[in-house]
Amino acid sequence: MQSPFTIQELVIPEAIAGGDVLAKAPTGSGKTIAFAVPLVERTDPKAQTPSALVLVPTRELASQVAGECAALSASMGLRVAAVYGGAPLRAQAKRAAGAHILIATPGRLQDLVERKLLSLSNIRTLVLDEADRMLDMGFKPQVERIVRRLPVQRQTMLFSATLDGEVGELARSFTKNPSRFETEEKPDRNEAEVSHRFESVSAEGKVERLIQELEAERGLALVFVRTKRGADRLAKRLARHDVAAIALHGDMTQSARERALERFRSGKIKTLVATDVAARGLDLVDITHVINFDPPEDDKGYVHRVGRTGRAGRTGSGVTFVTPEQQGDVSRVAARLGHREQFENAGMRSAPLKRVYTSRRGRRSKW
């Protein structure tokens, strides 16, 4: 990083001064450093129990945030621990109890606290990272119960892609006179650095077309599929064609997921086949290609998926495979996101836009 990202320049001075912060920033905008630096600066290495808590929605994000905090705090004598589901509970509890900075998913943290394996009575700083996604994933009750256990006198920082609706309500109840910062800046500083391409394919020819994409000059490639079984099946089919790939999905054990991510992160395996849930929080600057082998369910899914590439000033490419029966739905997403021209350049016709209805109880209709 040559210079601080906007969110870092805005947040760090206020956070180091001890003020509450509300920050609207997209995933990958440099926000982890924006709260990690103040945490390290304000945490007392003499503390015997955790004094800083970062709540995150997924275990992958917990591991990544813990890694960044550990790198910053190594010279300060601070211990950092990550707490998330799918790993041995007692061992996590022991590490967490002796840490200065705690990174946790809400479910596992609540479990440890209710079993009296961990105390939050000394927490002086709370960070809610990707608060919108925590609510989307149904963690609001756990988050509220955790926050009720924290000291009233504390610093609170909330980071989210949106600050309205439920997130806004959460912010009002958790913070006191917060400073509010907003930035739409992407880490690449230029949205045009991520190219968007749509490929017309047949169901029978999708794998062959994917192999052609993966054999091109590239860095790491993240391939999205719709189902867990589909991830396993596609990784095996690629292997039969001498394309080294590994699957990542929710049915894998935590140790298997971590091994898969490490092999991908290190570049030993350059192709990761993943489901949406498994790839949440994945933030690797070396991902040059995101390939939607199966199209995402909606606009938000497309943005989240393709947003995995083009990080930290790098260029990236988002490629979406479209079968004939998917063309109408995918064309509407492309049009709403400003990619109609790229869609039609692939020789496909755009369908008329449809009104999409949303209810508070019901799920948003597809596309």
pLDDT tens for each residue of 328-360: 999 999 998 889 899 998 899 888 866 544 444
Q: Do the domains 191-345 and 6-182 match in fold? A: yes
Question: Per CATH, the architecture of 191-345 is what?
Answer: 3-Layer(aba) Sandwich (3.40)
Q: How many residues does the chain have?
A: 367
Coil vs helix vs strand at 198: strand
Model confidence pLDDT, tens digit, residues 6-27:
889 999 999 999 999 999 886 6
In this predicted structure, what is the pLDDT of residue 50?
96
pLDDT bin (cut points 50, 70, 90) of residue 201 is: very high
Domain 6-182 sits in which CATH superfamily?
Answer: P-loop containing nucleotide triphosphate hydrolases (3.40.50.300)
> What is d(CA 336, CA 161) in angstroms, rounded to the nearest whole number?
19
Q: Specify the pLDDT at position 6.
A: 85
Residue with tokens 């260029």: 315
136-171 pLDDT tens trace: 778 899 999 999 999 999 999 999 988 888 899 999
Q: How confident is the model over 266-291, as pLDDT tens digits? A: 889 999 999 987 676 677 778 899 99
pTM above 0.95, yes or no: no
Q: Per-domain residue ranges for the chain?
A: 6-182, 191-345
Average per-residue pLDDT for the chain: 87
Backbone region of residue 60 per phi and psi (left: phi > 0; alpha: psi in -120 to 50; beta: other values): alpha
Region for 316 from its dihedrals, namely left if φ exceeds 0, alpha if ψ lies in -120 to 50, beta otherwise: beta
CA–CA dist 164, 171 (Å, integer): 9
- Distant-in-sequence, close-in-space partners of 270: CB < 8 Å, separation ≥ 6: 218, 219, 220, 221, 244, 264
CA–CA separation, 51 vs 120, rounded Å? 8
- pLDDT number for residue 354: 61
